[in-house]
Amino acid sequence: MQTATLEVVIKASAYRLAICILVGLLLVCTNLKAAESLLLLSGDSPTYESVASTIISQGPAIHIDTSYPSHLTKNSEQHLSSYKIIISVGSKATEFAMQYGRKNSTILSTFIPRLQFQRLSEKYSNRIAEKHISTTAVFLDQPMQRQLRLASLIKPNLKKLGFTLGPNSEKMLPELKKSAEDMGFSLNYQTLALSDNPIQRIQPIMDDSDLFLVIPDPSTFNKTTAKWLLYMSLRSKVPLLAFSHNYVKAGAVAACITTPEDIGRYTAEQLHLIEGGATPPPTYSPYFKIVTNPKVARQLGISISTAENLQRQIQEDENQ
Protein backbone atom coordinates (compact mmCIF):
# COMPACT_ATOMS: atom_id res chain seq x y z
CA MET A 1 0.00 0.00 0.00
CA GLN A 2 1.32 3.38 -0.86
CA THR A 3 1.94 5.74 1.95
CA ALA A 4 2.26 8.93 -0.03
CA THR A 5 -0.03 11.71 0.94
CA LEU A 6 -2.70 12.94 -1.33
CA GLU A 7 -0.79 16.06 -2.19
CA VAL A 8 2.34 14.17 -3.12
CA VAL A 9 0.47 11.66 -5.20
CA ILE A 10 -1.29 14.37 -7.13
CA LYS A 11 1.93 16.05 -8.03
CA ALA A 12 3.75 12.84 -8.88
CA SER A 13 1.20 11.89 -11.48
CA ALA A 14 0.76 15.32 -12.99
CA TYR A 15 2.52 14.62 -16.27
CA ARG A 16 0.87 11.24 -16.72
CA LEU A 17 -2.48 12.86 -16.09
CA ALA A 18 -1.96 15.59 -18.56
CA ILE A 19 -1.12 13.14 -21.30
CA CYS A 20 -4.05 10.88 -20.52
CA ILE A 21 -6.55 13.70 -20.40
CA LEU A 22 -5.16 15.26 -23.52
CA VAL A 23 -5.47 12.01 -25.43
CA GLY A 24 -9.01 11.57 -24.21
CA LEU A 25 -10.03 15.07 -25.14
CA LEU A 26 -8.47 14.73 -28.53
CA LEU A 27 -10.55 11.68 -29.17
CA VAL A 28 -13.72 13.50 -28.26
CA CYS A 29 -12.82 16.57 -30.23
CA THR A 30 -12.12 14.61 -33.38
CA ASN A 31 -15.50 12.91 -33.13
CA LEU A 32 -14.01 9.43 -33.15
CA LYS A 33 -17.08 7.67 -31.91
CA ALA A 34 -15.60 4.20 -31.83
CA ALA A 35 -15.54 4.19 -28.02
CA GLU A 36 -18.51 2.83 -26.13
CA SER A 37 -17.34 4.10 -22.78
CA LEU A 38 -17.11 7.65 -21.54
CA LEU A 39 -15.10 8.92 -18.63
CA LEU A 40 -16.97 12.00 -17.49
CA LEU A 41 -15.15 14.29 -15.06
CA SER A 42 -16.98 16.81 -12.89
CA GLY A 43 -14.20 19.33 -13.34
CA ASP A 44 -10.61 19.78 -14.34
CA SER A 45 -9.15 19.85 -10.86
CA PRO A 46 -6.11 17.63 -10.25
CA THR A 47 -8.10 15.36 -7.93
CA TYR A 48 -10.59 14.38 -10.64
CA GLU A 49 -7.81 14.00 -13.14
CA SER A 50 -5.91 11.77 -10.79
CA VAL A 51 -8.91 9.46 -10.41
CA ALA A 52 -9.35 9.41 -14.19
CA SER A 53 -5.71 8.69 -14.82
CA THR A 54 -5.74 5.69 -12.50
CA ILE A 55 -8.92 4.31 -14.07
CA ILE A 56 -7.41 4.57 -17.56
CA SER A 57 -4.11 3.03 -16.58
CA GLN A 58 -5.56 0.18 -14.50
CA GLY A 59 -8.90 -0.41 -16.18
CA PRO A 60 -9.72 -2.86 -18.99
CA ALA A 61 -8.04 -2.36 -22.34
CA ILE A 62 -10.98 -0.68 -23.99
CA HIS A 63 -11.33 2.55 -25.81
CA ILE A 64 -12.58 5.22 -23.38
CA ASP A 65 -13.51 8.77 -24.31
CA THR A 66 -13.04 11.54 -21.76
CA SER A 67 -15.02 14.72 -21.32
CA TYR A 68 -16.62 17.15 -18.91
CA PRO A 69 -20.31 18.03 -18.47
CA SER A 70 -19.46 21.65 -19.22
CA HIS A 71 -18.27 20.59 -22.70
CA LEU A 72 -21.48 18.71 -23.47
CA THR A 73 -24.17 21.16 -22.46
CA LYS A 74 -25.68 21.42 -25.95
CA ASN A 75 -27.43 18.31 -27.27
CA SER A 76 -26.40 16.50 -24.15
CA GLU A 77 -28.50 13.40 -24.78
CA GLN A 78 -27.11 13.12 -28.25
CA HIS A 79 -23.57 13.35 -26.95
CA LEU A 80 -24.14 10.50 -24.53
CA SER A 81 -26.20 8.40 -26.93
CA SER A 82 -23.31 6.34 -28.15
CA TYR A 83 -21.91 5.38 -24.77
CA LYS A 84 -22.92 2.15 -23.19
CA ILE A 85 -20.87 2.72 -20.09
CA ILE A 86 -20.41 6.09 -18.43
CA ILE A 87 -17.84 6.34 -15.67
CA SER A 88 -18.79 9.53 -13.90
CA VAL A 89 -16.17 11.03 -11.61
CA GLY A 90 -17.77 13.20 -8.97
CA SER A 91 -21.25 14.50 -8.24
CA LYS A 92 -21.66 16.88 -11.16
CA ALA A 93 -20.67 14.24 -13.69
CA THR A 94 -22.94 11.66 -12.06
CA GLU A 95 -25.91 13.98 -12.17
CA PHE A 96 -25.22 14.74 -15.82
CA ALA A 97 -24.98 11.05 -16.65
CA MET A 98 -28.23 10.25 -14.85
CA GLN A 99 -29.92 13.16 -16.58
CA TYR A 100 -28.81 12.37 -20.12
CA GLY A 101 -27.53 8.78 -20.18
CA ARG A 102 -28.87 6.64 -22.99
CA LYS A 103 -31.24 3.71 -22.72
CA ASN A 104 -29.80 0.47 -21.35
CA SER A 105 -26.53 2.14 -20.41
CA THR A 106 -24.57 1.57 -17.20
CA ILE A 107 -23.43 4.43 -15.03
CA LEU A 108 -20.46 3.73 -12.80
CA SER A 109 -20.38 6.68 -10.48
CA THR A 110 -17.16 7.09 -8.60
CA PHE A 111 -15.48 9.53 -6.28
CA ILE A 112 -18.83 10.46 -4.83
CA PRO A 113 -20.09 10.48 -1.24
CA ARG A 114 -22.69 7.81 -0.56
CA LEU A 115 -25.40 10.26 0.45
CA GLN A 116 -24.90 12.27 -2.67
CA PHE A 117 -25.18 9.18 -4.85
CA GLN A 118 -28.36 8.18 -3.07
CA ARG A 119 -29.83 11.63 -3.44
CA LEU A 120 -29.13 11.73 -7.15
CA SER A 121 -30.44 8.18 -7.62
CA GLU A 122 -33.69 9.20 -5.98
CA LYS A 123 -33.91 12.44 -7.90
CA TYR A 124 -33.54 10.70 -11.26
CA SER A 125 -35.15 7.41 -10.28
CA ASN A 126 -37.96 7.77 -12.82
CA ARG A 127 -35.64 8.40 -15.72
CA ILE A 128 -33.27 5.68 -14.62
CA ALA A 129 -36.13 3.19 -14.53
CA GLU A 130 -37.68 4.43 -17.73
CA LYS A 131 -34.41 4.18 -19.65
CA HIS A 132 -33.43 0.89 -18.00
CA ILE A 133 -30.17 2.46 -16.87
CA SER A 134 -28.07 0.41 -14.49
CA THR A 135 -26.29 2.39 -11.83
CA THR A 136 -23.54 1.49 -9.42
CA ALA A 137 -20.97 3.46 -7.47
CA VAL A 138 -17.67 3.54 -5.69
CA PHE A 139 -18.11 5.83 -2.72
CA LEU A 140 -15.52 8.29 -1.63
CA ASP A 141 -16.41 8.33 2.03
CA GLN A 142 -15.70 5.62 4.54
CA PRO A 143 -18.07 2.93 5.74
CA MET A 144 -19.22 3.73 9.24
CA GLN A 145 -17.96 0.37 10.55
CA ARG A 146 -14.48 1.24 9.40
CA GLN A 147 -14.54 4.61 11.11
CA LEU A 148 -15.90 3.17 14.31
CA ARG A 149 -13.32 0.42 14.22
CA LEU A 150 -10.63 3.08 13.95
CA ALA A 151 -12.30 4.94 16.81
CA SER A 152 -12.12 1.84 18.98
CA LEU A 153 -8.45 1.36 18.14
CA ILE A 154 -7.68 4.98 18.99
CA LYS A 155 -9.69 4.84 22.21
CA PRO A 156 -9.92 1.18 23.30
CA ASN A 157 -12.28 2.00 26.19
CA LEU A 158 -14.63 3.98 23.95
CA LYS A 159 -18.19 3.98 25.22
CA LYS A 160 -19.68 7.29 24.13
CA LEU A 161 -19.17 8.57 20.62
CA GLY A 162 -19.85 12.27 20.12
CA PHE A 163 -20.62 14.03 16.84
CA THR A 164 -22.69 16.79 15.30
CA LEU A 165 -24.88 16.61 12.27
CA GLY A 166 -26.17 19.17 9.83
CA PRO A 167 -29.20 19.19 7.57
CA ASN A 168 -27.46 16.99 5.02
CA SER A 169 -25.53 14.63 7.21
CA GLU A 170 -28.60 13.89 9.33
CA LYS A 171 -29.34 11.15 6.86
CA MET A 172 -26.27 9.31 8.13
CA LEU A 173 -27.88 8.82 11.50
CA PRO A 174 -29.53 5.45 10.87
CA GLU A 175 -26.24 3.96 9.63
CA LEU A 176 -24.40 5.49 12.55
CA LYS A 177 -26.88 4.11 15.04
CA LYS A 178 -26.70 0.64 13.59
CA SER A 179 -22.91 0.55 13.46
CA ALA A 180 -22.60 1.95 16.97
CA GLU A 181 -25.07 -0.60 18.28
CA ASP A 182 -23.07 -3.39 16.66
CA MET A 183 -19.94 -2.17 18.41
CA GLY A 184 -21.56 -1.42 21.72
CA PHE A 185 -21.14 2.36 21.62
CA SER A 186 -23.71 4.86 22.72
CA LEU A 187 -24.20 7.98 20.62
CA ASN A 188 -24.07 11.53 21.86
CA TYR A 189 -24.96 14.11 19.22
CA GLN A 190 -26.50 17.46 18.32
CA THR A 191 -27.89 18.83 15.11
CA LEU A 192 -26.38 22.20 14.19
CA ALA A 193 -27.92 25.13 12.37
CA LEU A 194 -26.08 28.15 11.02
CA SER A 195 -27.54 30.39 13.69
CA ASP A 196 -26.21 28.18 16.48
CA ASN A 197 -23.47 29.19 18.85
CA PRO A 198 -20.89 26.48 18.22
CA ILE A 199 -19.50 26.53 21.74
CA GLN A 200 -22.83 26.17 23.46
CA ARG A 201 -23.96 23.42 21.11
CA ILE A 202 -20.78 21.38 20.80
CA GLN A 203 -19.11 21.71 24.20
CA PRO A 204 -21.68 19.62 26.11
CA ILE A 205 -21.27 16.89 23.49
CA MET A 206 -17.51 17.07 23.70
CA ASP A 207 -17.50 17.01 27.48
CA ASP A 208 -19.69 13.95 27.59
CA SER A 209 -17.92 11.88 24.92
CA ASP A 210 -14.90 9.62 24.86
CA LEU A 211 -14.15 10.45 21.24
CA PHE A 212 -15.58 12.94 18.75
CA LEU A 213 -16.24 11.93 15.16
CA VAL A 214 -16.12 14.82 12.70
CA ILE A 215 -18.80 14.40 10.07
CA PRO A 216 -18.57 16.75 7.10
CA ASP A 217 -21.65 18.71 6.28
CA PRO A 218 -21.31 21.60 3.85
CA SER A 219 -24.09 23.51 5.57
CA THR A 220 -22.65 23.58 9.04
CA PHE A 221 -19.10 22.30 8.98
CA ASN A 222 -17.19 25.43 8.05
CA LYS A 223 -13.96 26.91 9.31
CA THR A 224 -15.66 28.26 12.40
CA THR A 225 -16.85 24.81 13.39
CA ALA A 226 -13.51 23.28 12.47
CA LYS A 227 -11.65 25.78 14.63
CA TRP A 228 -13.82 25.35 17.70
CA LEU A 229 -13.82 21.57 17.39
CA LEU A 230 -10.04 21.56 17.56
CA TYR A 231 -10.06 23.97 20.47
CA MET A 232 -12.60 21.96 22.43
CA SER A 233 -10.84 18.70 21.62
CA LEU A 234 -7.61 19.94 23.13
CA ARG A 235 -9.33 21.60 26.04
CA SER A 236 -11.50 18.64 26.94
CA LYS A 237 -8.81 16.08 26.04
CA VAL A 238 -11.23 14.31 23.72
CA PRO A 239 -9.64 13.02 20.51
CA LEU A 240 -11.11 14.08 17.19
CA LEU A 241 -11.50 11.56 14.41
CA ALA A 242 -11.49 13.48 11.13
CA PHE A 243 -12.23 12.85 7.48
CA SER A 244 -9.26 14.48 5.78
CA HIS A 245 -5.51 14.43 6.02
CA ASN A 246 -5.36 18.18 6.37
CA TYR A 247 -7.66 18.22 9.34
CA VAL A 248 -5.37 15.69 10.98
CA LYS A 249 -2.43 17.97 10.28
CA ALA A 250 -4.39 20.77 11.88
CA GLY A 251 -5.07 18.92 15.11
CA ALA A 252 -7.36 15.91 14.75
CA VAL A 253 -5.82 12.74 16.10
CA ALA A 254 -6.50 10.48 13.11
CA ALA A 255 -8.51 10.01 9.95
CA CYS A 256 -9.38 7.27 7.56
CA ILE A 257 -9.02 8.54 4.02
CA THR A 258 -9.30 7.27 0.49
CA THR A 259 -7.01 8.89 -2.02
CA PRO A 260 -7.95 9.57 -5.64
CA GLU A 261 -5.61 6.72 -6.61
CA ASP A 262 -7.37 4.34 -4.20
CA ILE A 263 -10.70 5.28 -5.71
CA GLY A 264 -9.38 5.05 -9.25
CA ARG A 265 -7.88 1.66 -8.60
CA TYR A 266 -11.09 0.21 -7.22
CA THR A 267 -13.17 1.86 -9.93
CA ALA A 268 -10.94 0.21 -12.52
CA GLU A 269 -11.62 -3.16 -10.85
CA GLN A 270 -15.36 -2.52 -10.94
CA LEU A 271 -15.06 -1.53 -14.59
CA HIS A 272 -13.49 -4.90 -15.33
CA LEU A 273 -16.58 -6.56 -13.81
CA ILE A 274 -18.96 -4.35 -15.80
CA GLU A 275 -17.08 -5.14 -19.00
CA GLY A 276 -17.56 -8.76 -18.09
CA GLY A 277 -21.31 -8.25 -18.03
CA ALA A 278 -21.96 -7.87 -14.32
CA THR A 279 -23.24 -4.81 -12.47
CA PRO A 280 -21.69 -4.82 -9.00
CA PRO A 281 -23.64 -3.11 -6.22
CA PRO A 282 -22.64 0.36 -5.02
CA THR A 283 -19.88 0.02 -2.52
CA TYR A 284 -17.12 1.72 -0.59
CA SER A 285 -13.54 1.42 -1.70
CA PRO A 286 -11.72 -1.36 0.14
CA TYR A 287 -8.51 0.61 -0.37
CA PHE A 288 -7.89 3.27 2.23
CA LYS A 289 -5.23 4.81 4.38
CA ILE A 290 -4.99 5.84 7.99
CA VAL A 291 -3.28 9.07 8.91
CA THR A 292 -2.47 10.05 12.46
CA ASN A 293 -1.08 12.98 14.38
CA PRO A 294 1.12 11.47 17.13
CA LYS A 295 1.93 14.89 18.56
CA VAL A 296 -1.72 15.63 19.19
CA ALA A 297 -2.17 12.15 20.66
CA ARG A 298 0.60 12.92 23.13
CA GLN A 299 -1.02 16.23 24.01
CA LEU A 300 -4.28 14.44 24.66
CA GLY A 301 -2.50 11.90 26.80
CA ILE A 302 -3.46 8.90 24.69
CA SER A 303 -1.19 6.28 23.24
CA ILE A 304 -1.91 5.31 19.65
CA SER A 305 -0.37 2.77 17.36
CA THR A 306 1.34 3.80 14.14
CA ALA A 307 -0.80 4.63 11.13
CA GLU A 308 0.50 1.52 9.37
CA ASN A 309 -0.45 -0.76 12.27
CA LEU A 310 -3.89 0.77 12.56
CA GLN A 311 -4.44 0.34 8.85
CA ARG A 312 -3.28 -3.27 8.94
CA GLN A 313 -5.54 -4.11 11.87
CA ILE A 314 -8.60 -2.62 10.19
CA GLN A 315 -7.82 -4.34 6.92
CA GLU A 316 -7.43 -7.67 8.67
CA ASP A 317 -10.78 -7.18 10.38
CA GLU A 318 -12.46 -6.31 7.10
CA ASN A 319 -10.87 -9.26 5.31
CA GLN A 320 -12.33 -11.58 7.94
Which contiguous run of DSSP H or E holds residue 57? helix 46-58
| Summary count for the chain: helices (H), strands (E) | 15, 12
Range 233-252, binding another protein (CB under 8 A) = 234-235, 243-244, 246-247, 249-251
With contact defined as beta carbons under 8 Å apart, do 288 and 146 qualify?
yes
189 counts as binding another protein under rule CB under 8 A: no
Site string for another protein, 208-237 (x = CB under 8 A): --------xxxxxxxxxxxxx-xx--xx--
Site for another protein in 50-79 (CB under 8 A): none
Smallest gap from residue 54 Cβ to another protein (A)? 15
CB neighbour class for 14 (10 Å; exposed up to 12, middle 13-18, buried from 19):
middle
- Which helix H or strand E contains 99, and what residues bound it? helix 91-100
Q: State yes or no: residue 22 binds another protein (CB under 8 A).
A: no
Long-range contacts of 43-47 (CB under 8 A, 24+ apart): 43/68, 43/90, 43/92, 44/68, 46/10, 46/14, 46/17, 47/6, 47/10, 47/111, 47/260
Residue (35 or 124) nearer to another protein, CB: 124
Q: Confirm or reject binding of residue 190 to another protein (CB under 8 A).
A: no
- Residue 47 engages another protein in binding (rule: CB under 8 A): yes
| Options 96-104, 173-181, 198-206, 311-319: segment touching another protein (CB under 8 A) | 198-206
Q: Does 83 bind another protein (CB under 8 A)?
A: no
Instruction: Kindly write out the interface string for residues 87-126 of this chain, putting x where it contacts another protein by CB under 8 A and - elsewhere.
Output: ---xxx------------------xxx-xx--x-------
Phi, psi (5° rounding) for residue 132? Answer: 55, 45
| Piece in contact with another protein (CB under 8 A), picked from 22-30, 75-83, 96-104, 199-207 | 199-207
Using only C-alpha atoms, the chain has a radius of gyration, in whole angstroms, of: 21
